[in-house]
Amino acid sequence: MENMVNKYGELFTEQLEIEASYKKFAEELLKNTYAESKLEGKTAETALGKRLMNHQFDTVFENVKVFVETTLQPKPGVKPAYIGILQQLADIYEGKERDLYTLLTMATFSVLLNSVFRKETRLSNLAQTVAAEVQTEARMEAFLKANPEIAASVLRGISERVSKHYKTYYAYRRMEHANFSWNPWSLKDSTLFGAKLIELVIQGSGYFELYDHTDMNGKAVTEIHPTQWLLNTWAKNEEKLIAKAYRMCPTVVPPAPWTTFKDGGYYGELKSYCTFLRLHDFSVPNVFTKEYMARLNQLDLSNVQAAINAIQETPWIINKKVLKVAKAVIARGGELAGIPRMEPLPELPRLTGDYTDEELKAHKQKAVERIRLEARRKSKAIRAIGHIKVAERFSKYESIYFPCNMDFRGRVYPIPSFSFQGDDLNKALLLFADAPACSSYKDIEWLMVHGANLAGVDKVSFDDRVAWVRDHEAQILDCAKDPMGNLWWADQDSPFQFLAFCFEWQAWREHEAKFGTPEGFKCGIPVAFDGTCSGLQHFSAILRDPVGGKAVNLLPADKPQDIYGMVAEVVNEQLKKDSVSGTPDTTAEGKNGEPYTKYGTKTLAQQWLAYGVNRKVTKRSVMTLAYGSKEFGFRDQILEDTIEPAILEGRGGMFANPNQSAGYMAKLIWNAVRKVVVKAVEGMEWLQQMARLVCKEGQVVTWMTPMGLPVQQSYMVCNSEVYRMRFSGIDKRFYSVNITGDIDKRAQAQGIAPNFIHSMDAAHLQLTVIMAKEAGINHFSMIHDSYGAPVAQADRMFKTVREAFIKMYSENNVLEQFKADMEMLIEKGDKIPAIPSKGTLDLNVVRESLYTFH
């Protein structure tokens, strides 16, 4: 620490103060959250509230169980007034008794915790509230039991609504439409029932006590107060939780280099909150995680550490010009260049006069959509304002840095949320500090290519991108001169990053006018070279697949190949055939016994042709193929990305049955992409077969990356069941995990393809950084399959990323190495499947391919 003070002086002291201030801010934020939860009656929903309920849950649960079973046993004498309620509940939850006991325990516990901290303590009122909570949940359970065919739809509708009020209103309307009747419990019976449940919680928890007194009117009143033990325990644990709160920040001195699993990143109060690897799946200790950690500590990870250290040592500076414009956009109310409007969306006007059921239904749909859009707007607005606040705070420093670490596969992530891997605004607010000076017009051409990329002109040749910038230079310079007057920049693909380019282009023209040469021009914009459908690139290289390799730009070409467009073309060919000679519509019987139209491929093809299938429709499915996504996953993606937005925007009227349309398109894309990248599918399936064999032997899948990082899939079975109160949102998780761990065989097999390929692209990135560092590059903006360097060194990075790719796969037969790792875990007698055969692709052609990374 003394050496750091000597090296950086007051700046290091300031770094320690910044860490302390971020820690303090997080503590205050959590402290305020707990204070608000008490005022709003939501203490049971907090982490501490859930812990306290869990602490005595089993005892109270057992009390409730005995009470219910004993009370319902036939016996002579006077029966309690609430026996009818209890019998009704027993009938509703027949066969699901644990759910009933859980509901009674949770409802009572949560009402008491929420109320006593809010100073709402009268016993009679709390008893009625407890009973009302139980009745609401039980009524829904009875409704779902009576209408199983619509249960999934109803539960989805409830979960999509945020507030308890809207959840309840929606549920009651569904009940009304289904003609479901329910006789409300009497006030007397429900009060006595709720009081009995409160008694059980008091007896079993020790958290609450009764307090009898006389009110101002001389009336005897019984209240429920928290015990001193509860108050002390809450205060002590709240203090402990607040003390553990933290928020990560950029640094103003180079981050501490990573030397061990725990040593690196920060220097002061944030140091203990980050590790070299993010091992969230290792939170439950078992023999596998212990063995992995022991192995990790024995291996030489110096190459991996060197790569991460080089990335986090990159100096950055806040782009003050972009910051000024972003603040101006906020000041004018937002709704520009990706920044949402700052004011809430206008409320939907109420329906007036006579209206039909259909009009009411449409109005409610609009109301629900308005709630969703408002939540999205608010989230984006908070994020944008947060970015600007961080940028303002760090704008006074000559250089700032972003401590980094890795996930379990080796993928690099900055630790602060504000970083060079953020959204468009976040990236635009950052420039390389101390960027090297340009030396030739080739450097300027790379700046032009980057500018065109940011405008979305990235599917044409480099020459065409350079020409595009020349053709639009007047607009580019005008935007730089008056960004709030000429908003053309705001319409580009990455608006704020494009604006940052406009400013740099203006600076270049001023430099050229003054000096007449690129020499000496310093530009802090990172020029990024992005992979093309990275997962498929890696599979194609691993299996030397010339067909797949061509589709993802591993082979030289005059312009970038568009695999998403290629798949769309194959799909459109099939659509045209099906629209003429596809299968006819038929009538089928639904789960509820009602007939429905099962559309044939002829109708479905005509619907999709009316909509129009392009690369945008196929992109996500093709992109996720290499990461294990299959036909069923494609279906969900198409629904989410294409059909549902089209319907909401009034462009999806042709989709008479969205699920059928999505399923049909998923099948077409699946068949098309298998024709284009055959080897990738073979590689995925082989990895999954190997994973299943390993799991059969009671082992987890573990392998070594070409950079020497061990990767372990710690997917273990967590024998858990969750009971959730549907309207309050409070849940109780019942689980047990064996100390040795039960392997989640399904997750191991499903996860291997994406995790293996991600570990390969991570190794490639790390090797690229090491080789780039040796080549004199000291500034890195790396995002998984995107390789950014200063303008002056863009050409060097362009070559280095290719050389690293060739080197890694020429010197490492990664599937053979994976097989060797697995053979140590697989029983000798098991038949190990043959590795998919390799094709004829010569990796050296990647060196000549302009668009492998572009």
Residue range 61-94, pLDDT digits in tens: 999 999 999 999 988 877 889 999 999 999 999 9
Tokens of 492: 């580009």
Whether 505 contacts 444, CB under 8 Å = no
CB neighbours of 144 closer than 8 A, spacing ≥ 6?
151, 154, 155
pLDDT of residue 94: 93
CB neighbours of 654 closer than 8 A, spacing ≥ 6?
607, 608, 610, 611
pLDDT of residue 155: 86
pLDDT of residue 8: 87
| Maximum average pLDDT range among 72-81, 232-241, 657-666 | 232-241
CB neighbours of 546 closer than 8 A, spacing ≥ 6?
555, 839, 840, 841
Tokens of 503: 């400013």
Residue matched to tokens 């490492």 = 812
Alpha helices in 246-356 (DSSP H): 287-298, 302-312, 320-331
Whether 289 contacts 723, CB under 8 Å = no
Report the alpha-carbon distance of residue 250 to residue 433 in Å, rounded.
14
pLDDT of residue 659: 87
Q: Is 598 an annotated catalytic residue?
A: no
pLDDT of residue 216: 81
Residue 23 or residue 349, greater confidence: 23
Q: Is 189 an annotated catalytic residue?
A: no
pLDDT of residue 406: 97
pLDDT of residue 728: 60
CATH code for residues 40-232: 1.10.1320.10
Instruction: Give the pLDDT mean for 444-456.
Output: 98
Q: Is the pTM of this model over 0.85?
A: yes
Instruction: Give the pLDDT mean for 174-201.
Output: 92
> Which of 65, 167, 619, 773 is labelled catalytic?
619
pLDDT of residue 284: 63
> Which of 281, 434, 530, 821 is labelled catalytic?
530
Q: CA 134 from chain center: how many Å?
A: 34
Q: Is 785 an annotated catalytic residue?
A: yes
Report the alpha-carbon distance of residue 730 to residue 749 in Å, rounded.
33
pLDDT of residue 655: 86
Is the pLDDT confidence value at 741 over 90?
Answer: no
Residue 562 or residue 310, greater confidence: 310
Distances (CA, A) of 448 to 229, 316, 464, 476, 523: 68, 22, 10, 11, 12
CATH code for residues 684-848: 3.30.70
Indicate the range of 90-94, 172-176, 487-491 predicted with least confidence: 172-176
| Maximum average pLDDT range among 366-370, 392-396, 697-701, 734-738 | 392-396
CB neighbours of 591 closer than 8 A, spacing ≥ 6?
149
Q: Are strands 404-407 and 412-414 parallel, antiparallel or unpaired?
A: antiparallel
Whether 317 contacts 430, CB under 8 Å = yes
pLDDT tens digits, one per residue of 569-626: 999 999 999 999 999 988 887 655 567 888 999 999 999 999 999 999 999 988 888 7
Is the pLDDT confidence value at 737 over 60?
Answer: no
Given its phi and psi angles, is residue 311 left (phi above 0), alpha (psi -120 to 50 degrees) or beta?
alpha
At the second CATH level, the architecture of 560-676 is Orthogonal Bundle (1.10)
Residue 729 or residue 271, greater confidence: 271
pLDDT of residue 235: 95
State which amino acid sits at residue 340.
P
Confidence of residue 738 (pLDDT cuts 50, 70, 90): very low
What percent of the chain has a predicted confidence (pLDDT) above 90?
70
Is the pLDDT confidence value at 376 over 90?
Answer: no
CB neighbours of 134 closer than 8 A, spacing ≥ 6?
89, 103, 104, 107, 193, 194, 197
pLDDT of residue 740: 47
Residue 624 or residue 441, greater confidence: 441
Instruction: Give the pLDDT mean for 805-819.
Output: 97
Is the pLDDT confidence value at 682 over 70?
Answer: yes
Alpha helices in 93-212 (DSSP H): 97-116, 123-146, 151-160, 164-177, 187-205
Tokens of 710: 């061990």
Confidence of residue 244 (pLDDT cuts 50, 70, 90): very high
> Which of 407, 424, 578, 785 is labelled catalytic?
785
Report the alpha-carbon distance of residue 319 to residue 433 in Å, rounded.
10
Residue matched to tokens 């019998």 = 87
Question: How many residues comprise the chain?
Answer: 854
Tokens of 266: 């920060």
Beta strands in 500-547 (DSSP E): 526-530
pLDDT of residue 735: 47
Burial letters 487-512, b for 16+ CB under 10 A, else e: ebbbebebbbbbbbbbbbbbbbeebe
Residue 221 or residue 458, greater confidence: 458
Q: Is 717 helix (H, G, I), strand (E, B) or coil?
A: strand
What angle do the packed helices 678-696 and 615-625 form, to 10 degrees?
Answer: 40
Whether 249 contacts 22, CB under 8 Å = yes
Confidence of residue 508 (pLDDT cuts 50, 70, 90): very high
Instruction: Give the pLDDT mean for 711-740.
Output: 62
Q: Are strands 316-318 and 702-704 parallel, antiparallel or unpaired?
A: unpaired
pLDDT of residue 736: 46
Q: Is 730 helix (H, G, I), strand (E, B) or coil?
A: coil
Confidence of residue 476 (pLDDT cuts 50, 70, 90): very high
Is the pLDDT confidence value at 732 over 90?
Answer: no
Tokens of 190: 């429900």
Whether 538 contacts 626, CB under 8 Å = yes
Is the pLDDT confidence value at 522 over 90?
Answer: yes
Whether 43 contacts 49, CB under 8 Å = yes
Report the alpha-carbon distance of residue 153 to residue 747 in Å, rounded.
27
- Measured in degrees and rounded to the nearest 5, phi and psi for residue 206 equal 75, 15
pLDDT tens digits, one per residue of 526-556: 999 999 989 999 999 999 999 999 999 999 9
State the virtual CA torsion across 829, 833, 835, 839 in degrees, nearest 10: 150
Q: Is 326 helix (H, G, I), strand (E, B) or coil?
A: helix
| One-letter-per-residue 3-state SS of 534-581 | HHHHHHHHHCCCHHHHHHCCCCCCCCCCCHHHHHHHHHHHHHHHHHHH
